[in-house]
Amino acid sequence: MSSTRHATGGPLRQERFASSQEFERGLMANLVAKRCSLLECAENRELVWFLQLLSHEEGGLKNVARELCERFPDRLATPAMRQIGMKPGQKYNASQVQKVRAEIPGAEFDFPLKGEMDVAGAVNVPDGPRDSVDNWAGDWKKERAERLAALESAADKHPSKYPAEVFAQRCQRAAVAELERHLGELCLDPDRVLTDGEPWYFPTLISTLRAYQAAWIAARRPAAVTSIGREVAEALDYALESGRLVLIDGPSRIGKTFAAKAWCEQAPGRARYVQVPSNNDEIGFYRAIARSLGVSINLNSKAQELRQRIEDTVRDGHLAIVFDEAHYLWPQSLYRHALPGRINWVMTALVNQGGPVALVTTPQFLRSQKQVEARTGWTSEQFIGRIGHYQKLSESLTADDLKAVARAFIPYADARSIEALVSYAQMSAKYLAGIEAVAVRAQFIMRRAGRQKVEFKDVMRAIDESVIPSDSAFAAAMNSVGKPARKRAVTVPATTPTPRSARPLVPVLAQHGRGVRPAGTSGNVTEELHEAVV
């Protein structure tokens, strides 16, 4: 039978290659959830979900298997090998070889000792006449003696010792060939035990995976944890432990999203981060959740199918869902009958089923709730009753928080550069985004200059020549929107151009409570920053 995917000739049809195994990635969350529903130990469920998350990252479980072999080569050994030792140049004697062979499938055929006869060859040695003629002639006796002599001669040539390295290589080859599949079976097969002892070539796999998981989490620990980040983390911890709905409300650009993502990365076996899409259709909403969970998605998947898979995953998997940009859960439509279907689904399918849910949002969430109530007649008593905790975040960050964020963007920056970044963030309505904008631009200037580290002059140049003019231009463009077009040219007297360094800072989309100055009240911005850091 021919395969249409490999058919030759004819026009190129892209879909012929869509079923290639190379495109398959990631374990399906709804199937992994069934496996987790049978695991009573929370630690085991977290390990399984951690592996499921990695299966959807670049390289999948193949990359995980490769990293385990590279980081823990000494653990690719049978229990006897670990007990005896695997020092460079070490050789195992006959009794040691016998112990190691007993733990390696088929090793007795591959590593025969001196005096051990080939079992397969001995089976073919005749032990009696094949027919009446052979019985009369007796040729089988001669043939038997010749074959036994040859087998005994070959057995005498077998080594009495083997290097430990050959057994280590056998374990390594087995790991390369089988470990990826074994990791997948740990997440899907209910008969697989999550304790050390198997597979034979990696008997400490489970404890090694737990160490790998801890190292993975530690490597993703955020470089800077602000007071806002601690508030978000505490609220999310409560949602996870209590199984209640938590609403986290705070102004924009204070680090809510970063804190929520960082918390989810620190809990890869317990939570998933979902950014709610701004569109108003069902399929887009469920696709975003399915993509985060690792539920299989096809181009022809219907919203109902995705919704069922998501509900099965959350119900059986003991996973917390963190919805960022949660104000988009409300209908993005002025249609007066547009009931809050997303909110209702979160309540009935997730919260009512005991699934921990957190909503991270801006004050727009409560405003949208009031608008929906006024427009549609929908009442929010049930929704309000399900909110287990409402966390109102602080309006702004402290100077120490801003310094920590600045150091996270430029770890090696000197004190003056850090002060400049903090001062700009306090002046700009971009707030934390302002630090990022200056840091990225300063690093761009540094690379253009052929240097390896950002210097104070790079930071000041980024602020004075790029970021502030960009903010001012954008603010001017926003202010000009809606103004009537000029009907005729107007002649104005010539004036002396204002130097760039003396142009005022024009905040963009200023927020209350952050000490942002109104446009036109600032003098020379560069001089003000110098006064703040010098």
The pLDDT value given to residue 503? 39
Q: What is the SS3 string spanning 179-227?
A: HHHHHHHHHHCCCCCCCCCCCCCCCCHHHHHHHHHHHHHHHCCCCCCCH
Alpha carbon distances (Å) from 156 to 44, 110, 493: 50, 16, 110
Distances (CA, A) of 384 to 328, 389, 445: 17, 10, 50
Domain 399-478+500-533, CATH: 1.10.8
Give 304's Cβ-side CA count (13 Å radius).
0
d(CA 187, CA 206): 12
What is residue 250's predicted lDDT score, i.e. its pLDDT? Answer: 93
With 0-12 / 13-18 / 19 or more C-beta atoms within 10 angstroms meaning exposed / middle / buried, residue 281 is exposed
Specify the amino acid at residue 42: A
Q: What are phi and psi of 525, to 5 degrees?
A: -65, -40
Give residue 490's pLDDT.
44
State pLDDT tens for residues 7-23.
555 676 665 655 544 44
Residue with tokens 């001995």: 122
As given in the structure block, the two tokens for residue 515 are 């000490």
The class that CATH gives domain 227-392 is alpha beta
List 361's β-bridge partners, or say none.
249
pLDDT digit string (tens) for 162-182? Answer: 999 999 999 999 999 999 999
Low-confidence ranges of the chain (pLDDT < 50): 1, 20-23, 486-523
Find all residues with CB under 8 Å of 387, minimum gap 6, and list them: 244, 245, 246, 247
pLDDT at 135: 63
In 56-157, which ranges are continuous DSSP H helix?
Answer: 60-71, 79-84, 94-101, 107-110, 119-123, 132-137, 139-156
- Please choose, from the candidates 78, 19, 29, 17, the residue with its C-alpha nearest in 3D space to the C-alpha of residue 55: 29
Strand partners, 246: 358, 389
- Report yes or no on whether pTM surpasses 0.75: yes
Residues 472-528: tens digit of each pLDDT: 776 677 676 655 554 444 444 444 444 433 333 333 333 334 443 333 334 455 555
> Nearest CA to 289 among 250, 257, 312, 321?
321
The full set of domain ranges for the chain reads: 227-392, 399-478+500-533
Read off the tokens for 317: 């998997």
**Exposure of 286 in the CB half-sphere (CA atoms within 13 A):** 23
* Rounded CA separation 420/466 (Å): 15
Looking at residue 268, its pLDDT comes to 94
